[in-house]
Amino acid sequence: MKRPALHYVNSPKQLPAPPKQGRVVTLDLAFAAEDRYERATRPFIEALGDRLAAWIDHHPHPAWSAYAGDPRFVLVDKATAPACPQLVTPERIAAIGEIDHLFAHADFDGWLSTVKYLNGGSEPWPGADEDARAIDAPGQGFRCSARGQRIADAVARSRDAAPTKHEALLRELAEALLGGEIPQPLQHKIDSLAGELRARRASLESLLEQAEDDHPGILVLSLQKMISPGDKKFLLQTLEERATIGVVEEPTSVTVATFDGRIRLTTVPALHGTDGFAWGKARYDAIRDDLIGLLEGET
């Protein structure tokens, strides 16, 4: 079976133009939120038509119901599939057949899904599926191996620090793993990026000191400027370790996260995303009462 072309997508709201020819599979590519679904996701799907061989994802979205009867769409919530690679199985790949293009989210979870797909549904290293779960669903009891953490850290730093070179790095990493050996120069690059991420996270510790307990179980960090997705993810995970609900408020948006599976953040009208990680163009004050209601409903 020929090797499909790899395409890594940084954000589902900014999909590239679909290829004009060839069958396509997408992995770990969420439907864009709110009206961006109509501007990005649906046009992409409709432009591909029958050339869309499979759409495999685990980020719940209201529009999933429109594809419930279409066998090409493997849409499984994060409670069932904490990470996408576990949905990439030999049986599923065999049923899909030959494809020409493979699109995936440009994070560790999406990248690992492509490597597993190109490897026929087999983990590229023992425990890779568990590593993906640990990285994509933190706080849920999954454990990441040292090997997985090193690569995940390098991928996360590359995405933030060198976005124009990030896709090339993901392709290089995929090819190296599939070839059975990561060459020494790439090993050095992985170590350098992972080291940069550790240093970057250490520099963010001073921001965490500014977080305030606004309500029992809610820890809020208000920032004066926008930050990168990688920085925000780290800050939120740390806040979640210290409180039931972590909140990062930026000048034009608010992001909320919780490790508690009983709390459904998507029920807050101003937020969209998943129950464990949601965001919106709102101020914290506008959602505060809703969050307290969710928290007190579970205590």
Q: Which of 147, 156, 137 is nearest to 231 (CA)?
A: 156
Count of residues in the chain: 299
The model carries a pTM of: 0.92
Q: Residue 11 corresponds to which tokens in the numbers above?
A: 């954000």
- The whole-number mean pLDDT for each consecutive block of 10 residues of the chain, a chain of 299 residues, reads 92 94 98 93 97 97 95 96 98 97 98 98 98 96 97 97 96 96 96 97 94 96 94 96 97 96 93 91 96 86
- The reply to whether CATH 3.10.310.30 applies to domain 207-297 is yes
Model pLDDT for residues 6-36, shown as the tens digit of each residue: 999 999 999 999 999 999 999 999 999 889 9
Q: Which of 114, 94, 116 is nearest to 106 (CA)?
A: 114
> H-type helices in the chain, by residue range?
36, 42-48, 90-96, 108-118, 128-136, 146-161, 163-179, 184-203, 205-208, 229-242, 284-297
239, 211 Cβ separation under 8 angstroms: yes
Number of H helices, E strands in the chain: 11, 11
Q: What integer pLDDT is reported at residue 297 of this predicted model?
A: 87
Q: What integer pLDDT is reported at residue 94 of this predicted model?
A: 97
Helix (H) or strand (E) holding 257: strand 253-258
Q: Which of 39, 22, 19, 23 is nearest to 31 (CA)?
A: 39
